[in-house]
Amino acid sequence: MRFARAATKRALKSGDLDIYDLLMDPTEEQKGAKVEEMLLAMRGMGRIKVTRLMREASVSRSKTLVGLTHGQRDRLIGVLGCEDA
């Protein structure tokens, strides 16, 4: 599990994996990953920016990918600006 999540973070950082795809359809290994950790793995995202985005989307810091409600997922995609991906 940890290795799969580490690989996911590397893919996010390199741009091989889009955050939209991850949020919409996480694999079995990715489902337990924290949303905050995945956002932090993205290029150009720091702790302050991620905290602000998650607050705007009303997503708790402890929320996992599988634990996101449809509304939270939609708001998060909206604040990330990737709804047309």
Cβ(77)–Cβ(20) below 8 Å? yes
Rounded CA separation 11/7 (Å): 6
Rounded CA separation 78/13 (Å): 20
* DSSP, res 35: H
- Taking the complete model, does pTM exceed 0.75, yes or no? yes
**Which residue type, as a one-letter code, is found at position 73?**
R
Q: Which domains does the chain have, with CATH numbers?
A: 2-80 (1.10.8.50)
Helix 70-80, helix 47-56: angle, nearest 10: 130
pLDDT, tens only, 7-51: 999 999 998 999 999 999 999 999 999 999 999 999 999 999 999
